[in-house]
Structure 1
Amino acid sequence: MEAVRLFKSLDHDQRNTFLACFLGWTLDAFDFFLLTFVIVPMAHDFGTSVADLGYAITITLAMRPVGAFIFGLLGDLFGRRILLMIDIVFYSLMELLTAFSPSYTWLLIFRALYGVGMGGEWGLGASLAMESLPADARGLFSGILQQGYMFGYLFGALVYGIVFPLFGWRALFVVGTLPALLVIYIRVKVPESPVWLRQTSTIISSSRIRSATTVRNFWTSLGNILKRHWLLFIYVILLMTAFNAMSHGTQDMYQTFLGEQRGLSVQAKSVIGIIYAVGAICGGILVGHLSQKFGRRR
């Protein structure tokens, strides 16, 4: 089987890198989706409406591009690995602060900052993973990597069904700090992106990185890339905008719909969430496999 062959072709470092990036994205999504399961009880505790509490989701998503730009820029300058560790610690801290939000205003602040971290994780993790994998394995593993998002939803549904009935919504966000432990694994097992190391090696002289040259080269390279591929760049942005609009437009308030409009219990909502996630995971892996066989564009 092709998938098994590709997995066996990876060396130890490549497997560790992919696993770390997959878990980073999974746990990032897990932290995000926890909020979508408990909008109603949170709105009740903060004395606000469900619609107003929904702004906590909106502000998180709005800040993702900010985080993607900041951490993406820093990742190009200083390396994917170290910035990924910083990002995971940052969004885990924001998740913990969410658990202890004293008011609705503070909740919005913490979720906005969490959005910055969430935006940074995908770019750093995907870059590190894809730059570390052999070219013939990227199609399949890109599909698997993306499904970390739905694995996060699956874990969120599972933890919601177990933790929320016993300890309430704040305990969910305490559990959401567990991704910080992933940093230990990255620190010990994951090497820096070989692509980034090759790029930075061109500006190393006498065992010292010339920071001014690094910055100039970065902006020059970025400008050249945009000049050559500006149409593709715009297309990818519009494509991902459409995908995210469909995704978040349907799933983020789905659990609220199941509880408020359909009157389902916590356990029933949890089971439906798990089934929903499993279907998405299977679809993502299938499409990734097909892209490996027929090409990304087709």
Structure 2
Amino acid sequence: NYTALLIFRALYGIGMGGEWGLGASLAMETLPTQARGLFSGVLQQGYAFGYLLAAVVYWLVFPLFGWRGLFVAGALPALLVLYIRARVPESPVWLRQQHAMGDFWKQVLFVLKRHWALFLYVILLMTAFNAMSHGTQDMYQTFLGEQRHYGVTQKATTGIIYAFGAICGGTIVGHLSQKWGRRRSIVLCCVLGIVLIPLWVFSPGYTLLVIGGFAMQFMVQGAWGIVPVHLNELSPDAVRGTFPGFAYQLGNLFAANTAVVEAQLAYHFRDTSGHPDYAKALSLFTLVIFILLIFLAAVGPEKRGKEF
């Protein structure tokens, strides 16, 4: 029932919420400084690769077993965690700092008091980032099905193709940010994302929509590929294991109603047939978020190449 679903989703969220911040900090503290940009993109596009796998599983499993089958299939990769955890060593930075570590919560409170403006900025930044990714993904399949009337196969194919775009974008732009700078790369991706909006949702045919989806996710996840390294470089040293993940998940929380907002916009606009106009809703919401993210990235700090 719905209550059981909420309980298990909450437990799942606790586990998943702890994974990203710690994984990103471990990777960034372990890697050479000059390799951070590239591997930030590779790390973050584990999300896009998972999205790609989910599209394939949806294509194969959903017609036969429904949503329950998808939940079971989605749980299976978690078994790999046991092997990974047993083999991956601790960060050398973390090991080096252990002798200087005091009471954890006192340090957290001290850092929050000293860096409260940075903390608020990063929360706003991550709210915009999460709104951007959810705004270009969550309702896109609904747009393809309800407004363009494409079937399961076409929707799954589109998801697979734009997931490839996301993987390419995150890896390439993450690497380029090592030379171009974190903020400049984010701004460039958002500007190009705005240019791609007409191709992404207003193209007259399926082929052009697929191309638009690939290109849009290249830019969206290109910007996202910078997030792990950017947050870890901005983070105060004493709370690097906590700061990026906490700020990221608060941003995720504040952007959680993205799909609801887009659905309400679609019902407000309506197309020529009187049906919800998802194309207009997605384009307007995404345009606003891109502009907001351009502003936040442009005015915010950057510590590219910071030594941990």
Under a length normalisation based on structure 1, what TM-score does the superposition of the two structures give? 0.56
Tell me what 1:24 maps to: 129
Matched, 1:190 2:300: yes
CA 151–95 in structure 1, closer or farther in 2 if over 3 Å, else same? farther
Deviation at 1:100, TM superposition (A): 1.4
Structure 1 match to 2:54: none
Are 1:91 and 2:206 an aligned pair? no
**1:80-99 CA distances to partner (integer Å, 9 max, x unpaired)?**
11011111222343334323
- Say whether the 8 Å CA contact 1:33–1:152 is kept in structure 2: no
Q: Counterpart in 1 of 2:263?
A: 161
Could you tell me which residue of structure 2 aligns to residue 7 of structure 1? 112
Which of 177, 184, 187 matches 1:82? 184
The 3 A distance-change label for structure 1 pair 70 and 151 is same
Cα 1:164–1:4 shift into 2, 3 Å: farther
Report whether the alignment pairs 1:52 with 2:157: no
1:161-187 Cα shifts (integer Å, max 9, x gaps)? 312223211112222211221212322
Query: How far 1:57 sits from its partner (Å)?
Result: 1.7
Deviation at 1:7, TM superposition (A): 2.7
Which of residues 219, 243, 259 in structure 2 aligns to 1:117?
Answer: 219
Matches within 5 A, 1:83-232: 83-147=185-249, 150-151=252-253, 154-167=256-269, 168-174=277-283, 175-182=285-292, 183-187=294-298, 189-193=299-303, 195-196=304-305
Q: Post-superposition shift, 1:68?
A: 1.5
Offset of residue 124 of structure 1? 1.2
Q: Take 1:34 and 1:4, find their aligned partners in 2: how far apart are those partners?
A: 38
Change over 3 Å in CA distance of 1:136–1:110 after alignment to 2 = same
Q: Tell me, what secondary structure is at the counterpart of 1:64? A: helix
Conservation of the 8 A alpha-carbon contact between 1:18 and 1:129? no
- Superposition deviation, residue 13 in structure 1: 4.7
Structure 2 Cα separation of the partners of residues 10 and 165 of structure 1: 42
Identity of aligned pairs, percent? 19
Residue type of the partner of 2:301? P
Query: Which residue identity lines up with residue 28 of structure 1 in the other structure?
Result: S
Q: Structure 1: 5+ residue runs without aligned partners?
A: 200-298
**Residues 64, 115 of structure 1: 8 Å contact kept:** yes
How far off is 1:55 after superposition?
1.9
Instruction: Rate the CA distance shift 1:12–1:151 in 2: closer, same or farther, 3 A.
Output: closer
